[in-house]
């Protein structure tokens, strides 16, 4: 063959001698001698490429030149050109001794192209080519195409193979499709070490530390998913250590191979190798990444590994575009608008912009509110048409998180704008401390301080002349009253000229703070700051609150040398407050002298009023009492009730000089003056009222001891629980006047009939009290005042009693008796103990006293005990959890006595209350839906029929042997009694698919088939234990030169091939040429052909090593002994020896 011509193969005018005169053999072909006979001469060649070729011929005898056949031949593409494995499978998962079915049935118009029982197929190693002389792969044979257009093979060795096909009407093999991989090599070790770096910021590098070992010497490729990595700036690299510095001797850059970024490492068989791989994950990824690293090698199963815990943290690039109003031009009560342009390294739809809630103004409902939206607006002015979403923070929340709804922030050149609008807290003045925090899942949070400052004002500042005291005598205190409403919280500095003051410390202040309902608070303090204005002014620091109207009174004593009319220059200052109003200075007038009158009390009211006094005020002194009189002055008065000075005294607004309100006048515990308490008023001039006026303040009774049962110290014990035996005598003090109503409590239970004997003794009459439990505190209540002593106790007989138990089913253990037969018990409680059980009885103790309660069933040592007890009251206990102990797993205890232990005391075992656990049929008594529960025995009767399935197990939860599927209704091949014909193992059960894994060994036979009912190819006999003749393992059955009579009815004998294409073979294993054939492939025929070698007149040199030459019998001549020599004289051919 010579390459395709650019002109006709032979044109004596343009190309004398034709193409063969100048071209070398085509690629893959060579000069070959013809085969066959003079009657049938042929030669074979294999072209690597399809196309048009010229055929060249040269006569053997003489020294002639090459002749060119005028007619070219056309070489088509291989037919068939592809194959499929049936059933479809991954070739890398096929192993040796597994049946491999190669099908060509998909070839278009295969009925007309492919010829079953005539076309031939063989498998050769990858190191060979699909040529005539290439031997089949070890364990395989050259075989004919089956009727279903497929062939079957078993492989005995791992490796990569070629599939070779020869059409019946053509003489050469051609390779089909790509390689066939069987029994891939393995990565015996593939370990990612924990010191690997798998958590990085966007743009960072993973450093993956591996140890890998292979089963053979091979070049291993490590590749990554293109969507998961970035190689734009830095490609992946690997090194034998953890360093990625330039100049590292073993640092190797990975390359792109066949569209994948791949690192290639060489491995020696069985030698583990330790190395690091450095790779940059795609910077647009954010969050956990199923980062895939693939390890592959020729003939190896590819390992698709996922790096555990791999994560990429995104980055923010925010820019504050605008803040309206400007950062240094903000006044409290103005709404703010902020715009951020947010850039991200990866996409997120969960952006949160957080700000401190302490900077936001509380809303009317007590929430902190903010408005949010996003817009593509590029101007510094807010679009009035934006839709704003209201978000609120819960009270007490430290930070307000503003999730951005419905917006995807995408890695892009143009950032996404975010607008925030809110009202700053009205009580702020000074640097705002406005810090925004950007965050999103798996992003590095970003903070930004806006540097905003808030300024405040002192609104409504005015002098209140009608409330001021500006006409004073020498040494008397002057009072200047001002009104104001600050817009922010502040420490207000108020000062007056120092020369006006009588002495250091003569200036003080008093403030009233008002809310919407009236006076909210009163504050006061001294003014000691003399450092103002180079020491010429004395100042006060007055705390004021935002939006709270404040009346500020400055009290001072004028210098005694100043008489007459004196203007007082009062200054107000505070940091970050603007536009202080300059008021005209008020004038203080000082005439010669006068005197201060004593305060007088006219009446007191507030508790139970009996004009002009009030009585029976609670002992805690917190009920306000109002004192009416004169000369109280407008501030600074004090009130004393008995031995106690009122904790809080308030001058009534508008009646400051005539009405005072006092709270906090509780009397000392050791007070012996009974209930009558004298009230006095002292004004700020230290003048005290002289009128003897009293009120009655309740005193707290005291309990010293109790007696009546078995007395132990100040307490008594062993009292009857129903109070049927003894009176109880309580001794103490302050039990009230003769007409006082006295109550006695024994723990939480009141005594129904109490007799008061004196101020120090009361009696609780027998049959009028009851109780239970130990150490009940005894207390006495007089006019609502309860004694405080806790060391006087009463204890009752405390044995608990159980009457009945409810909660689960209310019938006997077999559910054959009605409820009335067992009215005290409960049964069929689930084994996990999740159905609440209520225990009903008496004397379980008071829950408020924290009595320890236990409930257990049966023998205490069995462990069947309630794990979660609710102590409802003295008669009811709820057991919420009582799982069956693991030691009793598989049992179902019945009729277990219910015992209550209260404060260490056990209920008697004479109770009729019992409980029983559920039967073994399952929690719902439905036997898993695959049977019927016998409540008498607690056993499941499993279904055993085709329509409902074939089930077994304690709760009918698994298939009977030989059945499979979710319904357990399908039998294994061969039937459930004889699955897989007892020649394999059936994959039965709920998770099985009914497939048979057939025996394949010398003892039990070599079986294949759906029901393991056929011998594997190459095996024969009823037990499929006979193996067809195999000359060598490499040659395969019948030496690959014949067909074995296999199968259960086969004989195991070889039927050798006998045709021009496969050769003429003979012998037990088809190991030699048949008579009349010779050559390494036995395809050469002796002269005269295999049917009549040497024309029947000689002996041919046949066999694998034969030459094909005839040795003629006497009297015959010719290369085929076809000539008969005439016999003459003496019967000799040609009458002589020559």
Q: Provide the token pair at 1059.
A: 């045709």
Q: Provide the token pair at 7.
A: 């002109």
Q: What pLDDT does 1045 receive? A: 92
Is the pLDDT confidence value at 576 over 50? Answer: yes
Residue 940, burial from CB neighbour count under 10 angstroms (0-12, 13-18, 19+): buried
Residue 659, burial from CB neighbour count under 10 angstroms (0-12, 13-18, 19+): middle
Cα distance between residue 766 and residue 991, in whole Å? 76
Long-range contacts from 1093-1101, C-beta under 8 angstroms, 24+ separation = 1094/1120, 1094/1121, 1095/1120, 1095/1121, 1095/1122, 1096/1121, 1097/1121, 1097/1122, 1097/1124, 1100/1075, 1100/1076
Percent of the chain past pLDDT 70, that is, above it, reads 86
Answer whether 413's CB lies under 8 Å from 371's CB: no
Is the pLDDT confidence value at 936 over 60? Answer: no
Cα distance between residue 121 and residue 177, in whole Å? 13
Bigger pLDDT: 1054 vs 132: 1054
Q: Provide the token pair at 253.
A: 């850059």
Rounded to 5 degrees, φ, ψ at 356 are: -65, 130
Residue reference for tokens 């007490």:
396
Q: Which residues contact 504 (CB under 8 A, 6 or more apart)?
A: 528, 530, 538
pLDDT-based confidence at residue 192 (cuts at 50, 70, 90): very high
pLDDT, tens digit, 9 for 90 and up, residues 373-429: 444 333 334 445 555 555 565 655 666 677 776 677 778 777 887 777 777 776 778
Q: How far is CA 872 from CA 84, 825, 844, in A?
A: 75, 20, 9
Q: Is 107 left (phi over 0), alpha (psi -120 to 50) or beta?
A: beta
Q: What pLDDT does 210 receive? A: 95
Helix (H, G, I), strand (E, B) or coil at 219: strand
pLDDT, tens digit, 9 for 90 and up, residues 41-94: 777 776 777 788 888 888 876 567 788 887 888 887 778 888 887 655 444 456
Lowest mean pLDDT, pick from 305-319, 411-425, 896-910, 1098-1112: 411-425
DSSP result, 23-68 = PPPPTT------EE-SSSEE-----SS-EEEB-EE--SSS-PPPEE
Answer whether 183's CB lies under 8 Å from 96's CB: yes
Eight-state DSSP code of residue 940? E
Cα distance between residue 1126 and residue 1114, in whole Å? 11
Beta-bridge partners for 1064: 1058
Residue 48, burial from CB neighbour count under 10 angstroms (0-12, 13-18, 19+): exposed
> How many CB atoms sit inside 10 A of residue 838's CB?
15
Q: What angle do CA 817, 818, 824 make, to 5 degrees?
A: 100
Give mean pLDDT, residues 989-1010: 92
Rounded to 5 degrees, φ, ψ at 1083 are: -100, -5
pLDDT, tens digit, 9 for 90 and up, residues 771-813: 877 889 999 998 888 998 889 999 887 788 898 898 887 654 4
Secondary structure element (H or E) that encloses residue 138, with its range? none
DSSP result, 303-367 = EEEE-TT-EEEB-EEEEEEEEES-TTSEETT--EEEEEEEEESS-BS--EEEEEGGGBPB-TTS-
Beta-bridge partners for 252: 238
> How many CB atoms sit inside 10 A of residue 516's CB?
6
Is the pLDDT confidence value at 331 over 60? Answer: no
Q: Which residues contact 86 (CB under 8 A, 6 or more apart)?
A: 101, 102, 103, 150
Q: What pLDDT does 367 receive? A: 42
- Please give the distance of CA 879 from its chain centroid, rounded to a whole number: 34
Lowest mean pLDDT, pick from 240-254, 571-585, 751-765: 571-585
Cα distance between residue 595 and residue 707, in whole Å? 64
Answer whether 452's CB lies under 8 Å from 460's CB: no
Positive or negative torsion for Cα 932, 937, 939, 941: negative
Q: What pLDDT does 824 receive? A: 84
Cα distance between residue 663 and residue 321, in whole Å? 57
Q: What pLDDT does 382 receive? A: 44
Answer whether 219's CB lies under 8 Å from 266's CB: yes
Q: What angle do CA 265, 269, 274 make, to 5 degrees?
A: 45
Q: What pLDDT does 33 receive? A: 80
- Please give the distance of CA 611 from its chain centroid, rounded to a whole number: 74
Residue reference for tokens 């795609």:
282
Q: Provide the token pair at 1090.
A: 């295999």
Lowest mean pLDDT, pick from 11-15, 259-263, 925-929, 1047-1051: 11-15
Q: What pLDDT does 1020 receive? A: 92
pLDDT, tens digit, 9 for 90 and up, residues 717-769: 888 877 877 899 999 988 887 778 899 999 888 998 999 998 899 999 988 88
Q: Provide the token pair at 843.
A: 């004397």
Beta-bridge partners for 902: 853, 905
List, in sequence order, every beta strand (DSSP E) within 545-599. Answer: 549-557, 564-567, 571-573, 577-578, 587-590
Cα distance between residue 1 and residue 46, in whole Å? 9
Is the pLDDT confidence value at 540 over 50? Answer: yes
Is the pLDDT confidence value at 556 over 50? Answer: yes
Q: What pLDDT does 365 receive? A: 39
Cα distance between residue 274 and residue 449, in whole Å? 48
pTM of full prediction above 0.75:
no
Rounded to 5 degrees, φ, ψ at 60 are: -70, -40
Q: How many residues does the chain have?
A: 1138
pLDDT-based confidence at residue 182 (cuts at 50, 70, 90): confident
Is the pLDDT confidence value at 525 over 60? Answer: yes
Positive or negative torsion for Cα 721, 724, 730, 734: positive
pLDDT, tens digit, 9 for 90 and up, residues 598-644: 888 999 999 998 889 988 888 888 999 999 998 888 888 899 998 89
Answer whether 1115's CB lies under 8 Å from 1125's CB: yes
DSSP result, 65-97 = PPEE-SS-EEEPPPSS---EESS---GGG--TT
Q: How far is CA 920 from CA 555, 856, 880, 942, in A?
A: 89, 22, 22, 13
Q: What pLDDT does 586 receive? A: 78
Secondary structure element (H or E) that encloses residue 640, with its range? strand 638-641
Helix (H, G, I), strand (E, B) or coil at 772: coil
Q: What pLDDT does 63 receive? A: 64
Nearest to 313 by CA among 340, 344, 290: 344
pLDDT, tens digit, 9 for 90 and up, residues 652-685: 988 888 899 999 998 887 665 567 889 999 887 6
* Mean pLDDT for all residues in the chain: 82
Answer whether 399's CB lies under 8 Å from 354's CB: yes
Give mean pLDDT, residues 988-1006: 92
Is the pLDDT confidence value at 523 over 60? Answer: yes
Q: Count Cα atoms within 13 angstroms, Cβ side, for 435.
A: 10
Helix (H, G, I), strand (E, B) or coil at 928: helix
Give mean pLDDT, residues 357-366: 60
Separation of first and last alpha carbons in the chain: 45
Rounded to 5 degrees, φ, ψ at 822 are: -135, 65
Q: What pLDDT does 895 receive? A: 81
Cα distance between residue 516 and residue 465, in whole Å? 24
Q: Provide the token pair at 278.
A: 């450095």
Helix (H, G, I), strand (E, B) or coil at 1129: helix
């Amino acid at each position: 063959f010579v390459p395709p011509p650019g002109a006709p193969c032979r044109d004596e005018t343009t190309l004398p001698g034709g193409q063969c005169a100048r071209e070398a053999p085509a690629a893959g072909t060579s000069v070959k001698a013809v085969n066959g006979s003079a009657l049938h001469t042929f030669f074979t060649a294999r072209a690597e490429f399809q196309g048009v070729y010229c055929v060249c011929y040269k006569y053997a005898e003489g020294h002639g030149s090459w002749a060119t056949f005028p007619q070219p031949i056309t070489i088509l593409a291989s037919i068939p050109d592809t194959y499929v494995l049936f059933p479809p499978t991954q070739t890398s998962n096929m192993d040796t001794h597994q049946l491999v079915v190669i099908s060509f049935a998909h070839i278009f118009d295969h009925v007309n192209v492919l010829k079953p029982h005539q076309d031939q197929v063989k498998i050769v190693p990858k190191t060979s080519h699909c040529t005539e002389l290439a031997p089949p792969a070890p364990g395989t044979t050259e075989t004919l195409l089956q009727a279903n257009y497929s062939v079957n093979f078993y492989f005995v060795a791992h490796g990569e193979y070629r599939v070779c096909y020869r059409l019946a009407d053509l003489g050469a093999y051609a390779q089909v499709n790509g390689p066939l991989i069987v029994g891939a090599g393995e990565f015996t070790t593939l370990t990612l070490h924990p010191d690997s770096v798998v958590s990085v910021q966007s743009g960072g590098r993973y450093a993956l530390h591996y140890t890998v070992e292979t089963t053979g010497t091979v070049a291993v490729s490590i590749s990554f998913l293109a969507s998961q990595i970035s190689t734009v700036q830095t490609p992946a690299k690997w090194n034998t250590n953890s360093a990625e510095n330039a100049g590292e001797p073993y640092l190797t850059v990975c390359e792109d191979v066949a569209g994948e970024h791949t690192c290639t490492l060489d491995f020696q068989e069985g030698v583990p190798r330790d190395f690091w791989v450095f790779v940059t994950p795609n910077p647009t990824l954010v969050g956990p990444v199923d980062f895939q690293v693939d390890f592959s090698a020729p003939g190896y199963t590819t390992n698709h590994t996922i790096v555990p815990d791999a994560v990429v943290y995104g980055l923010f690039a925010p820019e504050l575009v605008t803040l309206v109003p400007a950062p240094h031009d903000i006044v409290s009560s103005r709404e703010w608008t902020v715009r951020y342009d947010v850039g991200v390294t990866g996409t997120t739809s969960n952006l949160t912009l957080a700000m401190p809630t302490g900077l936001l103004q509380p809303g009317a409902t007590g929430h902190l509110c903010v408005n949010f939206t996003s817009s593509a607006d590029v101007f510094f002015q807010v679009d009035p048409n934006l839709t704003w979403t209201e978000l609120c923070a819960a009270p007490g929340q430290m930070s307000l998180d503003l999730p951005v709804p419905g917006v995807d922030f995408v890695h892009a050149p143009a950032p996404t704008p975010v607008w925030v609008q809110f009202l700053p807290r009205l009580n702020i003045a000074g640097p705002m401390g406005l810090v925004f925090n950007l965050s999103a899942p798996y992003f590095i949070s970003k903070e930004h301080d806006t540097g905003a400052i808030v300024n405040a004002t002192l609104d409504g500042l005015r002098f209140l002349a009608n409330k001021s005291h500006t006409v004073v005598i020498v040494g008397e205190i002057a009072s200047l009253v001002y009104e104001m409403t600050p817009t922010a919280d502040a420490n207000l500095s108020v000062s007056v000229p120092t020369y006006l003051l009588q002495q250091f410390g003569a200036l003080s202040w008093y403030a009233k703070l008002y809310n919407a309902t009236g006076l909210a608070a009163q504050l006061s303090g001294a003014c000691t700051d003399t450092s103002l204005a180079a020491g010429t002014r004395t100042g006060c620091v007055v705390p004021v609150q935002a939006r709270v109207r404040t009346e500020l009174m400055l009290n001072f004593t004028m210098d005694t040398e100043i008489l007459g009319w004196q203007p007082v220059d009062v200054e107000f200052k505070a940091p970050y407050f603007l536009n202080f109003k300059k008021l005209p200075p008020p004038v203080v007038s000082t005439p010669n002298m006068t005197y201060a009158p004593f305060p007088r009390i006219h009446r007191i009211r507030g508790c139970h009023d009996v004009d002009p006094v009030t009585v029976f005020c609670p002992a805690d002194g917190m009920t306000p009492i109002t004192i009416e009189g004169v000369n109280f002055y407008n501030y600074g008065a004090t009130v004393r009730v008995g031995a106690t000075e009122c904790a809080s005294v308030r001058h009534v607004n508008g009646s400051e000089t005539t009405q005072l309100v006092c709270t906090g006048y509780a009397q000392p515990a050791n007070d012996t003056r009974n209930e009558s308490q004298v009230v006095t008023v002292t004004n700020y001039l230290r003048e005290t009222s002289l009128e003897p006026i009293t009120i009655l303040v309740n005193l707290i009774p005291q309990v010293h001891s109790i007696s009546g049962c078995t007395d132990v110290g100040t307490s008594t014990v062993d009292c009857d629980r129903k109070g049927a035996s003894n009176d109880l005598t309580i001794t103490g003090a302050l039990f009230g006047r003769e007409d006082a109503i006295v109550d006695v409590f024994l723990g939480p239970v009141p005594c129904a009939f109490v007799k008061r004997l004196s101020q120090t003794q009361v009696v609780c009459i027998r049959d009028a009290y009851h109780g239970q439990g130990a150490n009940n505190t005894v207390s006495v209540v007089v006019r609502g005042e309860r004694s405080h002593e806790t060391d006087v106790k009463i204890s009752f007989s405390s044995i608990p009693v159980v009457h009945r138990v409810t909660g689960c089913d209310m019938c006997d253990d077999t559910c054959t008796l009605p409820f009335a037969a067992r009215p005290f018990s409960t049964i069929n409680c689930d084994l996990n103990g999740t159905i609440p059980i209520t225990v009903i009885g008496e004397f379980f103790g008071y829950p408020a006293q924290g009595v320890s309660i236990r409930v257990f069933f049966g023998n205490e040592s069995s462990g069947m005990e309630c794990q979660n007890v609710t102590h409802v009251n003295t008669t009811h206990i709820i057991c919420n959890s009582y799982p069956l102990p693991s030691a009793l797993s598989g049992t179902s205890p019945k009729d277990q006595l219910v015992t209550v232990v209260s404060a260490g005391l056990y209920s008697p075992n004479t109770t009729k209350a019992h409980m029983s656990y559920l039967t073994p049929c399952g929690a719902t008594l439905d036997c898993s839906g695959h049977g019927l529960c016998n409540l008498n025995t607690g056993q499941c009767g499993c279904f055993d029929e085709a329509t409902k399935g074939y089930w077994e197990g304690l709760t009918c939860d698994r298939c009977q042997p030989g059945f499979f599927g979710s319904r357990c209704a399908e039998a294994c091949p061969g039937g459930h009694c004889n699955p897989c014909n007892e020649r394999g193992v059936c994959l039965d059960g709920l998770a099985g698919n009914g497939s048979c894994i057939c025996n394949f060994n010398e003892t039990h036979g070599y079986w294949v088939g759906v029901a393991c009912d056929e011998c594997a190819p190459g095996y024969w006999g009823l037990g499929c234990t006979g193996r067809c003749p195999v000359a060598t393992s490499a040659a395969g059955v019948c030496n690959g030169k014949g067909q074995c009579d296999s199968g259960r009815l086969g004989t195991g004998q070889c039927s050798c091939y006998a045709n021009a294409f496969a050769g003429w073979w003979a012998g037990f294993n088809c190991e030699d040429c048949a008579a009349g054939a010779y050559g390494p492939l036995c395809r050469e025929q002796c002269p005269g052909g295999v049917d009549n070698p040497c024309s029947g007149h000689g002996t041919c040199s046949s066999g694998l090593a034969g030459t094909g030459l005839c040795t003629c019998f006497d009297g015959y001549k010719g290369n085929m002994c076809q000539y008969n020599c005439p016999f003459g004289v003496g019967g000799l051919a040609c009458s002589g020896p020559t």
